[in-house]
Amino acid sequence: MTVILLLVLVILTIANLLRPSYEKPPSVNSASSFSQDKIKELASKLASRNLYTRAARVWQDYLSSAKVPDTERAKALFQVGTLFEKAGLYEEAIEYYYRSEITAKLSELEQQINTHIKDCFEKLGKFSALRYELMDRTSFKESEKAGSRIVAEIGAEKITESDLDAIIERTIDNQLAPMMAFMTTEQLNEQKKKILEQYKNHSARQEFLQSWLSQEVLYRQALEEKLSEQSDVKGVIEDMVRSILSQQLMNKELADKINITETDLQTYYQANKDKYIEPAKASISHILVENQQQANDIMERIKNGEDFGELAKEFSVDQNTKDNAGIIDTDVRKGSYIPVIGESSELNERIFVTDAGKILEEPFKTEKGWEIVKVREKYPERQKSFDEVRQQVITALLSQKRQDVQRDLIDQMMNKYNVIIHTSALRSIKEADAGESAESVK
């Protein structure tokens, strides 16, 4: 028993030593060597030099040693929260904002705390938690906390609405994990928000929950049957672990090595401007009829001054455009598919040699029938600006850098582990036999 107690004491001592420093701030002997005003002055000076974490710790030491009224303590705790937030320690910041409002409800801090907590959750990418936080802060009901409704039960275990959202968010994080090395935090959060939108629908959430529960009960049964200890299953698990760890190492290497600056983006854009050219475009209207004679008759009526749009409404058999005077909403790009009408390089060429406001000189035969086409507007080829294609440039440059980093890392690891590939040994038996026969002939 004594040995066990000694082991526990050793473990606790090690745990205390390993605990992050912000959980146990270093003492600065504020009570004995500094007055309260001097400590505040020190914290202010550290903060002014952008040493936010150190400033927060001085405030922590001050609060742990001084007898401060609750209102003043709440203000000091709020200061600690803002310092942690500036230092990028958003979870710690949220904790101290909570501490502040629990210590004392101050009207002058209420709105500020709401805003800061919202910002911290967003920067952490914890959008489900943010949603429930906002619901709690705007709810008039004190009794029921947002997200506390039970949506499922597994035996005695209760799965709440907030639990479900946390599971959904974790699943999305796992989906986005391979992209973390190639996207900024803002881009990742934007992508995450878009995916989360899909789960606002009740049926989508129910479908996800059903799928997750199915997997969870199967997983629990597999643990109960100790499947992970079976030799064949161990092999599958080892292969998956190998794949995941190798990918994580690659992602880490990519995140460490890829650092794209604004100058890099501008340089890549200037060197590849020809990739970002918008081809000439034309907006058109059409009248589709079944035979050439009818098309010729309508062409004659247009030449005699009748309105193209009115004739389209009366005679066009294209139900999608006739009520809109034959207007095709999507522009035609030079040398490509013609929206609504179809694939026809010859008709495409005719469109772009016809002036804006004019009608093609004669009807054109397509698979759907006979087309009478009017060119409403024409837009010349143009160079897209950097701002227009910024995201495309980022994606292209990331892809290029990713390939370079992956190739260098693989080469480095191959050399480190002295990898040799015997290509001759990979020949098929047939090839080997053929080689032996040729040698015997010689």
Q: What is the mean pLDDT of residues 204-208?
A: 91
**What's the angle, vertex CA 90, arms to CA 88 and CA 95, rounded to 5?**
140
Give residue 433's pLDDT.
57
Q: To the nearest whole number, what is the mean pLDDT of the chain?
A: 83
Q: What is the mean pLDDT of residues 245-261?
A: 84
d(CA 315, CA 291): 12
Q: For residue 38, which of 66, 18, 10 has the smallest C-alpha distance?
A: 66
Question: Is residue 279 within a helix (H) or strand (E), and if so which, with residue range?
Answer: none
pLDDT one-digit tens code per residue, 4-21: 433 333 344 434 444 444
- pLDDT band for 22, please (50, 70, 90 cuts): very low
Total Cβ atoms within 10 A of residue 89 = 20
- pLDDT band for 64, please (50, 70, 90 cuts): confident
Give residue 144's pLDDT.
56
- Both tokens of 302, joined, read 């247009």
Segment of 176-180, 246-250, 273-277, 419-423 carrying the highest mean pLDDT = 273-277
As a whole-number percent, the residues of the chain with pLDDT over 90 amount to 37
Give residue 178's pLDDT.
73
Q: Which domains does the chain have, with CATH numbers?
A: 15-124 (1.25.40.10), 174-257 (no CATH), 280-380 (3.10.50.40)
DSSP 171-191: HHHHHHGGGGGGS-HHHHHHH
- pLDDT band for 429, please (50, 70, 90 cuts): low
Lowest mean pLDDT segment, chosen from 56-65, 74-83, 309-318: 56-65
Phi then psi dihedrals of residue 392, to 5 deg: -65, -40
Give residue 329's pLDDT.
94
pLDDT one-digit tens code per residue, 230-245: 988 988 989 998 998 9
For residue 357, pLDDT over 50 is answered with: yes
* Residue scoring higher pLDDT (237 or 26): 237
SS3 158: strand
* Residue scoring higher pLDDT (343 or 433): 343
Q: For residue 184, which of 258, 245, 239 has the smallest C-alpha distance?
A: 258
SS3 388: helix
- pLDDT band for 138, please (50, 70, 90 cuts): low
pLDDT one-digit tens code per residue, 261-303: 889 999 999 999 999 999 999 999 999 999 999 999 999 999 9
Give residue 248's pLDDT.
84
Give residue 275's pLDDT.
94
pLDDT one-digit tens code per residue, 297-351: 999 999 999 999 999 999 999 999 999 999 999 999 999 999 999 999 999 999 9
SS3 358: coil
Strands of 332-333's sheet in order across: 332-333, 281-289, 370-379, 364-365
Q: For residue 120, which of 140, 103, 100, 98 has the smallest C-alpha distance?
A: 98
For residue 108, pLDDT over 90 is answered with: no
Give residue 384's pLDDT.
95
* Residue scoring higher pLDDT (85 or 156): 85
